A and B are shown apart, each in its own frame.
Chain A
Amino acid sequence: MNNDGMREYIVSLLNKNLRLDGRSLLEYRKPIKIELNVSKNAEGSARVIIGETEVIAGVKLTVGTPFPDTPNEGVLIVGVELLPLSSPEFESGPPGVEATEIARIVDRGIRESGMIDVEKLVIKKGELVWMIFLDIYTVNDAGNLIDASALAAVAALKNSVLPKLNGDKVVFGEHTKEKLPLKRLAITCTLSKINDKILLDVNEKEEDVIDSRLTVAISEKNNIHALQKGGNKGLTIEDIDAMIDIAQEKTKELRKLLG
């Protein structure tokens, strides 16, 4: 925790409903950009920019044996790397706690909402299924990597096609026009709390001083499919109620951008 007066300053602004960059408390940074197909060797890819935060997600598909407890379902594996090039605070090395949390949050939102039609990913029941490797890389960390990563993940999956199959082997480098079968789109929104104020889309300075946060994954029917509370202070039920309301509303904005 830094003692350079930044938290005091942010709080003094929040008490007047102001933020460092002039936004209102529940406003996304602009621009929010979603670019598809940014990496052509991937089966699907997307770049998401929220303000100055930038992440790139890509999907590679291969075939393999299903997990023993789900013999008739395709496999999804989500990875996140907090690249050292994206922030002076990230070091080289295998994914640490922060990267792992983001990967698991993104995974949960996709999995629990039933976004991917995993039964359609079966090639030979119990023997051969499609395996989806979804990897997300941070390019510039200006706060709220969770929402940027989740949005990039969904956009990349939506952009994905199946590679060509030759018997039971993938023909690398050749794509079909068949899209990855998706049933619904789960959109993720993180709300943060500083003292008694709830904020949407924190930048890196705000993120440093939050008390707690709640990440919510929501599908088209407005149901909640994943929750993750972060930060080391508590949240009241009123907080959670309010945050979910905000998330349900704000995810509509992001859903529109996905088209």
Chain B
Amino acid sequence: MSELKVKDKEIVVPGEVLAEGMDYLPSYGVFREQDKIIAMHLGLISISGRVIKLIPLSGRYIPKKEDIVIGKIADIGFSGWRVDIGWAFEANLGLKDATSEFIEKRADLTQYYDFGEIIAAQISHISGSKIIDLTMKGPGLRKLKGGKLIEVSSSKVPRVIGKQGSMVNLIKEKTNCKIVVGQNGKIWISGVSSESESLATNAIYKIQHESHLDGLTDRIKEFLEKGEKNGI
């Protein structure tokens, strides 16, 4: 009766029929048309029981609720800050979500977050494309001082992080850098020297370019160890 037309981890194009029959359930990235489930992006199929999901392989960062993002303070108003997170519209950081301290109404907001400063925040609420609310209240959310900011395609972020953080932890360990990865593809790196930051940066760019090839973890490990040897 119901028929699955694709396998788990298969790459599909938009419009491709993934399953026929009402037994399968559409999740993210797919839609149902009559009794068929259809792919809505170029991406990887993920089948879990009867649920079919699609992970897009490419595309700009689209903000989602609960995403941890790295942003830059773009503007300061009376009731909070506007933050550039690499989306078509700036996100909002309101007074009450900015910090665990209490901020008075007429306080000098630059004392908390100033123009151009980098923050790790979480998306608390989204409405349409234009309204994206951030919060800084949560573990790990903070101003990121010093270091440098790089950017990768947001679709590569899962590879940079790795299974349960294994990849990013490998880089942190081998380069002795602090690294915070935002779902929006922005990555903050802070090391003891610019050479160690450079090594971490190049490792991350390497992941971006070679993410579709096999044996990535081993190659990155080898790359980092060579760099370590060269006195980073």
Are A and B a genuine interacting pair, yes or no? yes
Q: Number of B interface residues, CB 8 Å?
A: 10
Q: Within the complex, which residue of B115, B116, B149, B198 is in contact with A13, where a contact is CB–CB below 8 Å?
A: B198
| Bound-complex Cα distance A8 to B116 (A) | 14
Cβ of A5 and Cβ of B198 under 8 Å apart? Answer: no
Residues of B within 8 A of A6 (CB): 148-149
Chain A residues within an 8 Å CB radius of B202: 22
Q: How far is the CA of A8 from the CA of B148 in the complex (A)?
A: 9
Contact: B195 with A5, CB < 8 Å? no
Q: A3-B116, A4-B72 are contacts. A18–B198 as well, Cβ < 8 Å?
A: yes
Q: How many residues of A contact B (CB 8 A)?
A: 11
A4 to B84 Cα, complex, angstroms: 11
The answer, yes or no, to whether A16 is at the interface (CB within 8 Å) is yes
Please pick, from B72, B148, B195, the residue contacting A9 in the complex, using a CB distance under 8 A: B148
Contact A12 B116 (CB under 8 A): no
With a cutoff of 8 Å between Cβ atoms, the chain A residues found around residue B72 in the complex are 4
A6 to B151, CA, bound (A): 11
With A9-B148, A22-B202 already in contact, the answer to whether A4 and B194 are too (CB < 8 A) is no
Give bound CA distance, A149 to B97, whole Å: 50
Q: Please indicate the chain A residues that have their CB under 8 angstroms from the CB of B195 in the complex.
A: 16, 18
A14-B115 Cα distance, complex, nearest whole Å: 26
**In the bound complex, CA of A13 to CA of B148 (Å):** 12
In whole angstroms, what is the CA distance A22 to B203 when docked? 12
Residues of A within 8 A of B115 (CB): 3
Q: CA separation between A5 and B194, bound complex, in Å?
A: 13
Residue of A nearest to B84 (CB): A4
A13: chain B residues within 8 A (beta carbon): 194, 198
**Min CB gap A173→B, angstroms:** 38
B188-222 contact mask (Cβ, 8 Å, vs A): 1 or 0: 00000011011000100000000000000000000
- What 0/1 readout, one digit per residue, does chain A (1-42) give for beta carbons within 8 Å of chain B? 001111011001100101000100000000000000000000
Residue in chain A with minimal CB distance to B205: A21
* CB-based nearest A residue for B116: A3
Docked CA distance A12–B202 (Å)? 16
Q: Point out which of B149, B194, B202 has the most chain A C-beta atoms below 10 A from its C-beta.
A: B194
**Nearest CB in chain A to that of B147: its residue:** A5
Look across to chain A and name the residue whose beta carbon is closest to the beta carbon of B146: A5
- Docked CA distance A18–B149 (Å): 18
Chain B residues near A3 (CB-CB < 8 A): 115-116
Q: A4-B72, A5-B149, A9-B148 are in contact. Are A16 and B194 (CB under 8 A)?
A: yes
Residues on B with beta carbons closer than 8 Å to the beta carbon of A5: 148-149
Complex alpha-carbon distance, A3 and B115, angstroms: 9
**Which residues on the A side are within 8 Å of B194 (C-beta)?**
9, 12-13, 16
Taking CB as reference atom, which chain A residue is nearest B72?
A4
8 A Cβ contacts from B110-127 to A: 115-116
CA distance A125 to B149 in the complex (A): 63
The residue from A4, A18, A22 contacting B116, defined by CB atoms under 8 A apart:
A4
Give Cα distance in the complex from A22 to B194, angstroms: 13
B198 near A4 with CB under 8 A, answer: no
Residue of B nearest to A8 (CB): B148
Q: How far is the CB of B173 from chain A (nearest CB, A)?
A: 22
Most chain A C-beta atoms within 10 Å of own C-beta, residue among B72, B115, B149, B198: B198
Q: Which residues of chain A are near B198, meaning CB under 8 Å?
A: 13, 18
- In angstroms, how far is the closest chain B Cβ from the Cβ of A55? 23
Smallest CB–CB gap between A198 and chain B, Å? Answer: 20
Docked complex Cα distance between A3 and B149 (Å): 11
Residue numbers in B under 8 Å from A22 (CB-CB): 202
Query: CB-CB < 8 A to A12: which residues of B?
Result: 194
Give Cα A5–Cα B146 distance, bound, in whole angstroms.
9
Q: In the complex, what residues of B have CB within 8 A of residue A16's CB?
A: 194-195
Q: How far, in whole Å, are A240 and B72 apart by their CA atoms in the complex?
A: 38
Q: Which chain A residue has the least Cβ–Cβ distance from B115?
A: A3
How long is the Cα–Cα vector from A16 to B198 in the complex, in angstroms?
Answer: 12
Bound-state CA distance A217–B202 (Å) is: 34
CA distance A60 to B82 in the complex (A): 51
* Identity of the chain B residue whose Cβ is nearest the Cβ of A19 in the assembled complex: B198
Docked pose: A172 CA to B92 CA in angstroms: 59
Instruction: Quote the shortest CB–CB distance from A245 to chain B (angstroms).
Output: 29
Q: Once bound together, how far apart are the Cα atoms of A16 and B194, in whole Å? A: 9
Interface residues in A107-131 by Cβ distance below 8 A to B read none
Chain B residues at the A interface, C-beta cutoff of 8 Å: 72, 115-116, 148-149, 194-195, 197-198, 202
Please list the 3 inter-chain residue pairs (A to B) with the smallest Cβ-Cβ separation, ordered nearest first: A12-B194, A3-B116, A9-B148
What are 8 contact pairs spanning A and B, CB under 8 A?
A5-B148, A5-B149, A9-B148, A9-B194, A12-B194, A13-B198, A18-B195, A18-B198
